Amino acid sequence: MAQDKTIYTSLTGFGLLNSPALNKGTAFTEAERDEFFLHGLLPPQIGTLDQQVERRIKAFRALNSSLEKYVFMRDLQDHSETIFYALVSRYIEEMLPIVYTPTVGEGCQRFSEHYHTPRGVYLSYPNKHRIAQILSHPRYDHIRCIVVSDGERILGLGDQGAGGMGIPIGKLALYTALAGIHPMWCLPVFLDVGTDNQDRLDNPLYIGWKNRRIRGKEYDEFVEEFVRAVRRRWPHVLLQWEDFAGNNASRLLERYRTKVCSFNDDIQGTAAVSTATILASSSLTGIPLRDQRVAIFGFGSAGTGIAQLLAKAMQDQGLSQAEARSRFFPVDIGGLVLQDTPNLRDDQKAFAQSRSVLANWQLNDSGFISLEDVVRNAKPTVLIGVSGQFGAFNETIVREMARHVARPAIFPLSNPTSRAEATPLDLLHWTEGRAIIGTGSPWGTVEYNGAPYRVAQTNNSYIFPGLALGIIMSRAKQVSDGMIMASAKALAAVTPSCSDQSACLLPEMSRIREVSTTIALAVGMQAQQEGLAAVKGDTFEKALREHVWEPVYVPYRRRK
């Protein structure tokens, strides 16, 4: 489906006005009002999309809180998708913190309070025998990409139950807004397997299945039934796993990544944008990636994903696998991750440090090796936070890092803002302005010593829309590690700091459509090189450029 030239529909009257995908509101022409029985249902003045966007941006800016703005935008999306995406794309830097992080986190926490319009598919455990039937409806015939969550680990906020549906809805909104993926191709899915959040279970307004989370064999069988139904319904669909708890996140990715074209944005998207940003920071620090020492605070699925991709990038610069892995110092709830740390997953064991490394370290007698111990002894050049612990990068730790590194690269990536390991302004103060900073949530520009400092949002939104576009348009059979690396290197190649050391680490969000297309091309080419693409050569690039959807109105004709 290319950008539509004319849309044919059998809907008329209120049915047409109540279709978010088709509703033009006051912009229906006189001829369309005749043909679709709209006279009397709309005021007589015929408007334009520009006027509608102007009306909505004034109403948006009159609201007092970010949550009010989030609810406003969700209502707008459920009223008219064209106006919604026109507003987001024209005011991207203003809108992104509202429709995505950090405000989407509070939106998920209060999702049940504001729920009023169906969007996406809720597959609850009691309906496990109906999954295939639910997905079989003709309204889903155009679907090419799905974002699915079970709501157990929403950002850094934990189990939000059915409120987690806000994440698939928000992610797919960015598929369209930031990469031009047609909204009719996108399906948010929530796997409602219950919740262990007692506040949700006690809330009379809670919209989800009021039951403790199912786990173990029952959980796996439910997910298997979902994946089986998806494969039968859409053999070439892209499935993005989102905000599953750590163990399930990595386990489900490994189980299904070769069975259905899928990726996990928390693991692979975070890894890609982190790798791209650290590659970009090397031009500012003067330290090649292969020579960096990396401390990662929070070594769950996101932390291990970052380590894996960064280590592979170091190997691309000439290190052996063992040499690359030795340059990582992962710290989790039990302190520095060591080879004899109990209950490690295989992906964590690969980066566990040997106790022999500690021979010359200055440590206390408690046996617990903290992040501060790691910074003081390992002298990392890069510090990454994916812990969800606000303020974990305290003044002592940051000043210690800055004692040993001329330009410390510090990335508090946890979302939302309330979970960030440090604030940019504190990092600048504690490093005398020398820190190179990237944050998970948007901070915009902060002022240090009277001068503006633009903080790079090291956020997956730079990666996953373009990655998805490249996968969809190349009809890739699966998402390989090489394709994830291609997305990271493509982003690194267009970072402003590559050519201007005073510039920000990452491109302006106003360029995100262009950046997403660049990433999509790189991902599609990599899929072709690996023999994973069904659409190849000039056909792929032509299809990619022709199928980018724009939020504009086109003529409607009535299907009799």
> Which tens digit of pLDDT belongs to each residue from 475-524?
999 999 999 999 999 999 998 876 666 667 889 888 999 999 999 999 99
Residue positions annotated with a catalytic role: 100, 171
Tokens coding 277:
């940003």
Closest of 343, 143, 346, 162 to residue 243, by C-alpha: 162
pLDDT band of 76, cuts 50, 70, 90: very high
> Which tens digit of pLDDT belongs to each residue from 125-172?
999 999 999 999 999 999 999 999 999 999 889 999 999 999 999 999
Closest of 331, 334, 345 to residue 297, by C-alpha: 331
What gap in Å lies between CA 340 and CA 318, rounded to an integer? 29
Tokens coding 545:
């450029």
What stretch of H or E contains 399? helix 395-404
Q: Is the peptide bond before 102 cis (omega within 30 degrees of 0)?
A: yes
CA 558 to chain centre: 38
- Domain 96-260 annotated CATH 3.90.1170.50: no
Residue 266 counted as an annotated binding residue: yes
What stretch of H or E contains 174? helix 166-179
Would strands 409-412 and 382-385 be described as parallel, antiparallel, or unpaired? parallel
How many Cβ atoms are within 10 Å of 231's Cβ, its own excluded?
A: 16
> Which tens digit of pLDDT belongs to each residue from 41-62?
999 999 999 999 999 999 999 9
Strand order of the β-sheet with 121-124 is: 121-124, 186-192, 145-149, 238-241, 262-264
Closest of 548, 519, 521, 553 to residue 535, by C-alpha: 521
When pLDDT is averaged across residues 304-329 and rounded to a whole number, the result is 96
What percent of the chain shows pLDDT beyond 90? 84
Q: In the chain, which segments carry CATH 3.40.50.720?
A: 268-458
Residue 377 counted as an annotated binding residue: no
Q: In the chain, which segments carry CATH 3.40.50.10380?
A: 96-260
Main-chain dihedrals φ then ψ at residue 192, nearest 5 degrees:
-90, 95
> Which tens digit of pLDDT belongs to each residue from 317-344?
999 999 999 999 999 999 999 999 999 9
Say which amino acid occupies 73: M
State yes or no: pLDDT of 4 exceeds 80: no
| C-alpha to C-alpha distances, 490 to 1, 199, 519, nearest whole angstrom | 27, 43, 5
Q: What angle do CA 262, 97, 180 make, to 5 degrees?
A: 50
Residue 481 counted as an annotated binding residue: no
What gap in Å lies between CA 149 and CA 190, rounded to an integer? 5
pLDDT band of 123, cuts 50, 70, 90: very high
Which of residues 488 and 454 earns the better pLDDT score?
488
State yes or no: pLDDT of 387 exceeds 90: yes
Say which amino acid occupies 180: G
pLDDT of residue 404: 94
3-state secondary structure of 272: helix
pLDDT of residue 496: 82
CB 121 within 8 A of CB 189: yes
DSSP character at residue 269: I
> Which tens digit of pLDDT belongs to each residue from 337-373?
999 999 998 889 999 999 999 999 999 878 899 999 9
- DSSP string of 303-369? HHHHHHHHHHHHHHTT--HHHHHTTEEEEETTEE-BTT-TT--HHHHTTPBPGGGGGG----TTS--
State yes or no: pLDDT of 2 exceeds 60: no
Residue 459 counted as an annotated binding residue: yes
The residue assigned the tokens 């960030």 is 420
Residue 242 counted as an annotated binding residue: yes
What gap in Å lies between CA 451 and CA 533, rounded to an integer? 48
At the fourth CATH level, the homologous superfamily of domain 268-458 is NAD(P)-binding Rossmann-like Domain (3.40.50.720)
Q: What is the dihedral of CA 117, 122, 127, 128, to 10 degrees?
A: 170
Residue 202 counted as an annotated binding residue: no
CB 266 within 8 A of CB 302: yes
How many Cβ atoms are within 10 Å of 306's Cβ, its own excluded?
A: 29
How many Cβ atoms are within 10 Å of 339's Cβ, its own excluded?
A: 13
What gap in Å lies between CA 258 and CA 479, rounded to an integer? 8
What gap in Å lies between CA 248 and CA 301, rounded to an integer? 9
pLDDT band of 189, cuts 50, 70, 90: very high
CB 484 within 8 A of CB 268: yes
| C-alpha to C-alpha distances, 323 to 290, 291, 297, 312, nearest whole angstrom | 9, 10, 20, 11
pLDDT band of 1, cuts 50, 70, 90: very low
When pLDDT is averaged across residues 295-311 and rounded to a whole number, the result is 95
